Structure 1
């Protein structure tokens, strides 16, 4: 679930923090890249990853998007993390941002009032439907494991009553990823929020007088999962439980793909039959990923097009939204834009 889900995860975690108090800070992540182990021990999953590297636009995180008569724009893939390898943006990306008229990110995280954040954190759309909470979908042992994971992530016990897809998103990041790279754990959550990739880009844009807009609202992201079937919700919660012990490894694996500009490998790994070595039960349901990635790609495309037609836009979205036939790069090319890889 890395590379395309962290934006909603971070925003939701901030809302829950506003409603219930900040969770524990963590030390620096110390994970390992899982790809060598997958290559050695999971041949089927590795074949899926290799196939993902052969889809259109599998390589690259920065693309120039142009059309006759308007200034060129750029599409940039990010990770919703604060690791120095992620926020150490390529010089070409910074130059393109500085020359832009506006920056568009998935969600504009301009500060809301505490009252507004509390109201959204308590919105009915976040709550599980009757008979569809984690306690209803999981057996007793799994439900106990989920409650323990909620506590370990610093969330209130009431998080167990969230819609399963929402709960999966807020449980995604390990505690170590909730402090900013290079800062001490004592600086806590506020320091981290100030340092993740989209916030760094937005800060830079606003300092230069560049308008910042959101392509989606948090409510729309949450609504993407409203029709997720109950069996998929159950499988998603089970996958989250199985992923949790290797969460730091998953973060490192995500960052390693980003550093290598391996967008296709990242997306294929998210979809793989065995994303963690020896843990086929950690596979994410296809129905969840369809809503998280493919359906949202179509919405992001529609929201980006008016900005691209005006010219001078810098569009920053999760890297998993870029590659493949259903990815944003291909969708924009289908719309008649000239899309060329820069980085």
Structure 2
């Protein structure tokens, strides 16, 4: 498989809260024809508890049918749905973004902080989103990078409205299921905000470098997810994070460890739970399943 641009691959582990960041309105590509998807699903069981593990892609184009067959059966059997995050109201998100993502007064404009060789491409990427050239200059590097990563994907027709989290949230509410979040929005945005400035700048620079090739590669990543191919997703995830160990530790390894602990603890209480987290967390050598195995908990792939 052709290697994905790193900023596209990071969407496999990106916190869900990033998809709530405001983006400018832009023309979108026409939706593709309906496509059947069979994403990977796992299960953890003991005598009186069943926990399903479902990997999501936070943004999808309309027309992909995935909420059926094994996934729908597992969801219907569950009395609790656990997502990475239960979205707060927009006003709360705006406040968090402002407090964590806007640079302190007196900080040089972001454009001036970039290497001279990167500035023209950065400005072009910003204006490509329909924004003024200086629109992101007051942002901290992590927020600018995520805005630039998500913007082109949105233009291609991918949207969180079509993503599994929103579908599952609506279905859980309609069925009066308990809906819980594994993290808060403040936690999720804080993962980026607490990165060192050097890591944030590297994230931004690599995002700018890789923007031109995101389209086809995003499609390949979604295709791997739709085929239920965690090994393919794992290859991309490992490659995307190997040169940014600080980001890998914060976004992937530590979160997977915490979620595995949550799942093990939840096994102590009877019931059936449907856990949905980004597909990258259920793939590779640092996956939630690997962390569970370290805790003595076995997972099994669910067959369609």
* TM-score normalised by structure 1 residue count: 0.73
- Cα offset for 1:283? 8.3
Query: Alignment partner for residue 19 of structure 2, among 10, 18, 23?
Result: 10
Q: Is the 8 A contact 1:79 1:318 kept in 2?
A: yes
Query: Matches of residues 291-310 of structure 1 in structure 2 within 5 Å?
Result: 291-310=250-269
Structure 1 unpaired stretches of 5+? 31-59, 182-191, 276-281
Tell me how far 1:236 sits from its aligned partner: 1.5
Matched, 1:72 2:50: yes
Q: How does 1:282-321 map to 2 (within 5 A)?
A: 285-310=244-269, 311-321=271-281
Q: CA RMSD in A?
A: 2.9
* CA deviations over 1:16-72 (Å, ceiling 9, x no partner): 34xxxx432321489xxxxxxxxxxxxxxxxxxxxxxxxxxxxx721111123x231
Which residue of structure 2 lines up, in the alignment, with residue 109 of structure 1? 87
* 1:173 aligns to 2:150 (yes or no): yes
Q: Deviations over 1:131-173 (max 9, x none)?
A: 5863354123413322331232355744333222232222213
Is it true that 1:249 corresponds to 2:216 in the alignment? Answer: yes
Return closer, same or farther for 1:305/1:153 CA change in 2, 3 Å cut-off.
farther
**Counterparts in 2 of 1:85 and 1:299: CA distance versus 1, 3 Å:** farther
> What is the match of residue 137 of structure 2?
160
CA contact (8 A) 2:60 2:162 kept: yes
CA contact (8 A) 1:79 1:319 kept: yes
Structure 1 CA distance for aligned equivalents of residues 142 and 283 of structure 2:
23
Partner of 1:336: 296
User: Within 5 Å, which residues of 2 pair with 1:1-343?
Assistant: 1-5=10-14, 7-11=16-20, 13=21, 16-17=22-23, 22-28=24-30, 61-68=40-47, 70-84=48-62, 87-109=65-87, 112=89, 114-123=90-99, 125-128=100-103, 134-154=110-130, 157-175=134-152, 177=154, 192-272=159-239, 285-310=244-269, 311-343=271-303
Q: Distance in 2 between matches of 1:306 and 1:176?
A: 37
Kindly tell me: are residues 83 and 6 of structure 1, through their superposed partners in 2, closer, same or farther at Cα, counting changes over 3 Å?
A: farther
Return the alpha-carbon distance in structure 1 between the equivalents of residues 216 and 242 of structure 2: 15
C-alpha separation in 2, matches of 1:326 and 1:286:
13
Separation in 2, partners of 1:131, 1:297? 34
For residues 185 and 169 of structure 2, what CA distance do their matches in structure 1 show?
17
Shift in alpha-carbon separation, 1:178–1:6, aligned structure 2, 3 A: farther
1:326 partner SS: coil
Contact 2:264 2:297 in 1 (8 A): no
Contact 1:127 1:163 in 2 (8 A): yes
Q: Report how far residue 95 of structure 1 moved.
A: 0.8
Hey, what's the Cα distance between the residues in 1 that align with 2:200 and 2:214?
A: 20
TM-score (norm 2): 0.81
Name the counterpart of 1:43: none
* Change in CA separation of 1:176 and 1:127 when aligned onto 2, cut-off 3 Å: closer
Query: 1:184-210: CA deviations, max 9, x gaps?
Result: xxxxxxxx4432221011111111111
Structure 1 residues 315 and 252: CA distance shift in structure 2, 3 A: same
User: C-alpha deviations, 1:85-107, integer Å up to 9, x for none?
Assistant: 75523511111111111111111
